[in-house]
Amino acid sequence: MDTSQPRISANELGNYVFSNPAEKHRILRDQKFPKAVKLARYQSASFAILRSLDHGIFSKQALLKELHAIESKPAETKYQVNVRRANVTAVRRFLTIHEKAAPPDGEHTIIRQNAVFEFDGVKISVRPDILTTNVDGKFFTYSKLRFSSHKYSVDASEIVLLLIQKFAEQQDFEGLGFDRSRARLIDCFSQQIFEPHNVSPYKGNLLMKALTEIHGFWPFVSKS
């Protein structure tokens, strides 16, 4: 694997911006030298919420059914018990905002794979969860679910939304333009929905500073 160019996931970049030096070093080490692939901690909650999307709304009935399925999952180890509990909490909290979390009007496509784009010389992996296209309105936009109980989660969510916008600006849907104002990030744990007007220019400045910092640190990040 080529490690010469800095690369980082959007979620970890969001955390990086607000981390202390030791945490920043750990994040960059893990991104440069990734360990064996593991299932995402909140995969069950993410899949459950996305499956509940029906004709442009998140169905409460479907969410309750999915919640029961997660609660009923067998868990044999302490780790599995903790993961199940975390996913149950995520879905329960999403239930309190499921109506407001609905994507804009249009055709909705669930995105299953990560994409990589380059921003200021850093390769960033990102996966918006829902693509909305509206032919009549001549726009497309993205919605993103975020699951994190990290102490910087709310601030990091604003950074992730900025990155979703930067990614969208590089996409091309014939005849459709990216509608920045309709992009949204749903932070399930904080039960907040972030839209571009919520993000201050200061957060954008912090993001650019972090990208410059990553460029400087990257060549000196080692496995040890």
- pLDDT tens sequence for the chain (224 residues): 788 999 999 999 999 999 999 999 999 999 999 987 666 899 999 999 999 999 999 999 999 999 999 999 999 999 999 999 999 999 999 999 999 999 999 999 999 999 999 999 999 999 999 999 999 999 999 999 999 887 778 899 999 999 999 999 999 888 999 999 999 999 999 999 999 998 999 999 999 999 999 999 999 999 87
Instruction: Note the pTM of the prediction, 2 decimals.
Output: 0.92
Residues 6+ apart with CB under 8 A from 136: none
